[in-house]
Amino acid sequence: MEQGDIQRASSFDCGVPVLNHWLQSIAWSSHLGGGARVHVAVDAAQDLIAAYLCLSAAQADHAVVPSRVAKGMGQSPIPVVLIGRFAVDSRFRAGGIGKFMIRYAFEETLKIADTLGVRAIMVDAKDPGAAGFYTHCGFTAAVGNPLRLFIMIKDVRISVSAAGIIP
C-alpha cells in the first residue's frame, strides 16, 4: 500500500464493516508496528483496492500445555504464518481474485520458509462459507473446529512442483 492507497482504502467495501474498518483505520498502524504485514492488490485502471490480506508470524501450540509438559512428552510450538485478515472488495469478487490472493500468500510464505522455520499456514475463517473457500484452496479444517484451517508448507511446495513450477 502506498500513500495513495489511504484514499483508495476509503472506498474499499467487502460487505463486512469490521474488515472495511480494519483496512481503513488499523492496517497502516498494524503494518508500521511490525506485528503484521498488509498486502494489497490494486486495480490500477479503476484506482481501487481489489483485495487485501494480512500475514503475521504465529505459533501453533497444544492448548493443554501443562499436561503435555507434565508428561514430558512435549513438542515445541510450531512456527506458522497466520492469515489474520483477508477481504475482497465486492466489486471484484466475480473475478476470482480471492483464490489468487491465497496463491500470493502461498508464494510469499514459501519465500519466508526458505530462510525461517515456518511449517504451516493457518487461518481462522469468519464463517462456514469462508471456511469452504479456504478448503477449496487446499486448506484442511481442524478436527473439532471447522473454522480453524491449516495447510502444511511442505504440501504447498510439492504441489507447486506438481504444477510444473519451481517453488
Considering only residues 106 through 125, tell me which ones interact with other proteins, judged by CB under 8 A: 106, 119-120, 122, 124
Rule CB under 8 A: say whether 151 interacts with other proteins: yes
Q: Tally Cβ neighbours within 10 Å of residue 84.
A: 19
Closer Cβ to other proteins, 15 or 111, answer by number: 111
Cβ-proximal residues to 155 (8 Å cutoff; 6+ apart), any chain? 138
Residues 43-102 that bind other proteins (CB under 8 A): 43-45, 50-51, 53, 56-64, 75, 77-78, 80, 82, 84, 95, 97, 99-102
Rule CB under 8 A: say whether 21 interacts with other proteins: no
Closer Cβ to other proteins, 130 or 151, answer by number: 151
Rule CB under 8 A: say whether 24 interacts with other proteins: no
Amino acid at 26: I
Taking CB under 8 A as the criterion, the residue among 41, 83, 87, 113 binding other proteins is 41
What 3-state DSSP class applies to 21? Answer: helix
Q: Are 82 and 35 in contact (CB under 8 A)?
A: no
Cβ-proximal residues to 123 (8 Å cutoff; 6+ apart), any chain? 82, 83, 86, 134, 139, 148, 149, 150
